[in-house]
Amino acid sequence: MISLYQRMMRVAGSTAPLLRASMFITIASAIVQGIMFAMLYPLFHELIYPDENSIRRLVILGGILVGLVLIDAALRFIINRSDWESYIVAGHELRIKLGEQLRRIPLEDLNDRRVGELNVALSGHVDYVVMVLSGLYNIVLYTIIAPVTTLLITLFVDWRLALALGLIFPFVIPLYRRIRVLSAYGFRASGEAHETVTSNLIEYAQGLGVLRATRQVGPQSVRLQDSLENLRQKQSTAQNWKTIPGLMIATVVQVGILIVTLLGLLWVVGGSLDVAIMLALFAIMVRYSETLAMFANMTTMFDIMETALERIDELLDIEPLPINQPHGNIERFDITFDEVDFEYAADDDSSLDGQVLHDVSFNLPERSLTALVGSSGSGKTTITKLITRYADPQKGAIKIGGVDIRSLEQKELMRHVSVVFQDVYLFDDSIRDNIRMAKLDATDAEVEAAATAANCHEFITRLPDGYDTTVGEIGGSLSGGERQRISIARAILKGAPIVLLDEPTSALDTESEVAVQRAIDKLVEDKTVVVIAHRLSTVVAADTILVLDDGRLVERGTHDALMAENGRYAAMWNAQQQARRWKV
């Protein structure tokens, strides 16, 4: 309970004081309600034992009641306002906090989490967490505090009755524990069944082409149909486990109240209890019984919040990569790998097992062009990732201009590096702003100059609103090559002295390829360039070719030197030339 309270306060962020105040007011309001019900004791007394002053006393009691109702109404009025306030503000703050965290966490952690998972955290989980702030907690507080208040007052009216009522709880609590265990168990079982169905459905939709060709669709897709059936059974069982104990609690509470009522009646008949007290208590109990009985079902909302909060915490707990003192600044732009060993974190799905780079050392002089070649999984992409500090190597160091990149602020490092990927991400914004985001203070003329250099000025001016066309409006009509050229214009505008190219033309058709190739030629002028190449013919002119195999640097040199060496590079070259000569 206390940890739950602390968690809620943490979620509330800057509205925590507001939430705390709101909780106090809720408790006050619940106590007022409890007192109001206790007022039934004197009311019934006047009804059953009327005397000449009864009317006067009834009027006073009525006045007090009306006063209490008004106080309660006023309190609720305030709570409602502050609840919405904390709901809105807390959600907002939590999203900002998560957003900031996404900017800080190592790219490796970012990559580990799928886009879907992060989406759910930032939209869904945040909603679940703040939902509790928006009025859910006060239902729980009312359900507990109002009856307890009345019970405490009853203690003074007739302690035997209060005690008898209090005795119901020892019966309920073990049942309540049981229901939690059972529903958790059922939840897990049906959760697993649901996961199986999910992956089977995805497999079905993705593999539909093959399944259709092999006639394993519809009722014939045995595995899928079995898992659907299994899910239904598991869900049904889980539902029974959840519903039945919940209703048992409700029944126990109600029967308990009935027993207390009858006990009271016996005492009345025996003469040891005032009839008026008995009647009043009875009216009170019936009022509370239903909400108390269904209390167990309400608490599942907190389970949802806790699970969501755990996920959010997981994300918030990731530490950003440390920046070593003293902070450096880069003045030269040669790149050095010094005995670098690297392996991906164990839970990274995209990696192969074990170490990805073994003892890799090289120096790439300023303004040189270096090509990384090797089969997939040999470590090419990892090298470019490490230059942007995707993750830190386990051993060795990476230096730019002699400065270890671990002592550079992320901003400082990124200021000097441009990366051109295979996939381009364009924002739903004007084309101008999409290019300008590389250098926020660039003039329109600078943006257009970069676009011209990247070979996209011409097609941009042909768009309906030219540079002010929003990407969303024309979304699909930009070809892969055009998108790629816009991303190169970004990189040209940025003018960073180091350029990393990750096979930027491999996904394009020949026509766009030529245009993108020209744009790249402009981009790499006078830069320190590292290019990953699958097609070896594109890097013949490189100053150095680094050949990687299974994470090791096996050969280095110019094309001619490596061909003369007749080793791994020459073999790859020959195989590619062979494939090139293939005729359909």
Partner 1 sequence: MAARQESKNQGLWAITVPVKTHMAAGVVLAAVSGVLLIAGNVMLAQVVTIVAGGELAIFGLAFGFREAFWLLTGLIVLTYAIRGYSFIISHLGAFRLEEILRTDLTERLADMPLGYVISTGTGALKKVLLDDVKNLHAFVADSTPMIGKSVATPIASLVAMLLIDWRLALVAVGVLVLGMILMYAAMKDDATYRKQYEQSQSDINKAVIEFVQAMPVVRTFDDGTTSFKRYNLALERYRHHTKAWIELTALPGKIALIILSPLPTLLAVTAAGILFVTGGSLSLFGLMASLMVSTGMADTLMPLMWFNQALKKSNAAAERIQEIQGLPTLDKTEEPQIPERFDVTLEDVTFRYGEEDIYALKNVSFHVPENTTTALVGPSGAGKSTVARLIPRFWDVTEGSIRIGGVDVRDMTTETLMDTVSFVFQDTFLFNDTLAGNIRIAAPDASDEAVKAAAKAAQIHDFIMSLPHGYDTLAGDRGTNLSGGQKQRITIARAILRDAPVIVLDEATAFADPENEDEIVKALSNLLKQKTVIVIAHRLSTIKDVGQIVAFDHGEVTEKGRHDKLLALDGTYAALWKNYTLAQNWDVQHSGGAR
| Interface stretch with partner 1, choices 3-11, 148-156, 167-175, 235-243 (CB under 8 A) | 235-243
CB nearer to partner 1: give 199 or 361. Answer: 199
Q: How far is the CB of 3 from partner 1 (least distance, A)?
A: 29
- Strand, helix or coil for residue 365: coil
Selected binder of partner 1 within 226, 535, 561, 566 (CB under 8 A): 535
531 touching partner 1, by CB under 8 A: yes
317, 336 in Cβ contact below 8 A? no
Q: Which is closer to partner 1, CB of 4 or CB of 415?
A: 415
How far apart, in Å, are the Cα atoms of 163 and each of 144, 159, 168, 252, 448? Answer: 17, 6, 9, 17, 83
Beta bridge partners of 370: 530, 544
By beta-carbon proximity to partner 1, the closer residue of 313 and 428 is 428
CA pair distance 480, 514, nearest whole angstrom: 13
Name which of residues 377 to 436 contact partner 1 (CB under 8 A).
Answer: 377, 388, 410-411, 414, 417-419, 421, 423-425, 427-429
The token pair at 519 is: 């744009």
Scanning 8-16, 254-262, 299-307, 458-466 for contacts with partner 1 by CB under 8 A, the matching segment is 254-262
The verdict on 372 binding partner 1 (CB under 8 A) reads no
Binding pattern for the stretch 297-326 against partner 1, x by CB under 8 A and - elsewhere: ------------------------------
Going by C-beta distance under 8 Å and a sequence separation of 6 or more, which residues neighbour residue 111? 348, 350, 390
CB of residue 235 to partner 1, shortest distance in Å: 5
Q: Which residue has the tokens 């230059």?
A: 387
Q: Is the dihedral of CA 422, 427, 430, 432 positive or negative?
A: negative
What is the nearest approach in angstroms of partner 1 to the Cβ of residue 55? 7
CB 264 within 8 A of CB 161: yes
Q: Determine which residue in the list 1, 2, 205, 222 makes contact with partner 1, applying CB under 8 A.
A: 205
Site for partner 1 in 261-290 (CB under 8 A): 261-262, 265-266, 268-269, 275, 278-279, 282-283, 286-287, 290
Nearer to partner 1, 254 or 452 (CB): 254
Q: Which residue lies nearer to partner 1 by CB, 174 or 209?
A: 209
User: Nearer to partner 1 by C-beta: 4 or 16?
Assistant: 16
9 C-beta neighbours (distance < 10 Å), count: 15
Q: Is 368 in the site for partner 1 (CB under 8 A)?
A: yes
Contact flag: residue 101 with partner 1 (CB under 8 A) = no
Task: List the one residue from 131, 160, 216, 459 that touches partner 1 (CB under 8 A).
Answer: 216
| Paired tokens of 418 | 């441009």
Q: Which two tokens stand for residue 167?
A: 């005795």
**Residues contacting 92, CB < 8 A, separation 6+:** none
Tokens found for residue 106: 């190592």
Taking the alpha carbons of 320, 322, 326, 328 in that order, is the dihedral positive or negative? Answer: negative
17 lies in the site for partner 1, by CB under 8 A = no
Q: Does 209 bind partner 1 (CB under 8 A)?
A: yes
Q: Of these, 1, 2, 222, 440, which contacts partner 1 (CB under 8 A)?
A: 440
The Cα-based distances of 344 to 318, 560, 581 in angstroms read 16, 34, 38
